[in-house]
Structure 1
């Protein structure tokens, strides 16, 4: 089985099935890194509650292929928080009620 979330060249790769479930037809995401949790949080820009709770940065979900995989260029978050930039599979969970992806960094 293909991994659903990976880090490659400072980009978070999201599998099409995950993109469909969380983002539907939204092409922008809010992203923030929560130092206390060691987690990156990703949600569609339609999630207004997220802006009130965090100070997220807005990113374009770039199309990667015809299947619908998308990527987020998160280099600035990795650098700002001195995070491991090596290519790897990322452990994550989806909070379906709020369309939130929590990624262990």
Structure 2
């Protein structure tokens, strides 16, 4: 499960373990035309070449290993709805990428 809670992307530990393993920073970018937030570990150098991402601290939320990313600036800069809710997402394990639909 991935959700928006208090201007943070909340990533369930099962997803976080697959995508981030022991990495504590993520690259994040918002694709305005697709209305998607893309998230990948900072180890994904291909992502930097394709996009101009911002690096964010990936915080551990609880003992289970759920993670959060503070994305308030992305929400404000792009005039996005910051209402708490469950978000639709797609996981691409091969490239360790999370695509989140946000409108």
TM-score by length of 1: 0.96
- The answer for the alignment partner of 1:70 in structure 2 is 67
How many pairs are equivalent? 102
Where in structure 2 are there 5+ consecutive unaligned residues?
A: none
Query: How far did residue 54 of structure 1 move?
Result: 0.5
1:84 maps to which of 81, 85, 101: 81
> What's the RMSD between the two structures over aligned residues?
0.4
Off by >3 Å, runs of 4+ in structure 1: none
- Cα distance in 1, alignment partners of residues 73 and 3 from structure 2: 17
1:61 maps to which of 46, 58, 61: 58
- Cα distance in 2, alignment partners of residues 20 and 63 from structure 1: 11
- Cα distance in 2, alignment partners of residues 80 and 51 from structure 1: 20
Deviations 1:24-82 (A, max 9, x none): 11010000000111100000000000001101000011111000001000000000010
TM-score by length of 2: 0.98
